[in-house]
């Protein structure tokens, strides 16, 4: 599945904490809720996937989308 958005940016409309999962969902053309659920499940079920650390890094690295 190819990304639908032109660039990966934090969402300004689909955000709960920083808009990282909402931005990924917009970029992929998926539901923001689905991306959040997959991210949390991946973080919980995988010991090698430090979800909080990756989220913080993405929060810093991903540019915020203009409103």
Would the pLDDT of 4 be above 70? no
Report the alpha-carbon distance of residue 58 to residue 55 in Å, rounded: 5
- pLDDT tens, 41-66? 988 888 777 888 999 999 999 999 88
């Amino acid at each position: 599945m190819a990304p639908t958005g032109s660039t990966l940016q934090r969402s300004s409309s689909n955000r709960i904490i920083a808009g990282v999962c909402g931005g990924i969902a917009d970029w992929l053309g998926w539901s923001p809720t689905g991306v959040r659920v997959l991210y949390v499940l991946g973080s919980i079920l995988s010991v090698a996937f430090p979800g909080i650390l990756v989220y913080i890094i993405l929060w810093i690295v991903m540019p915020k989308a203009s409103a």
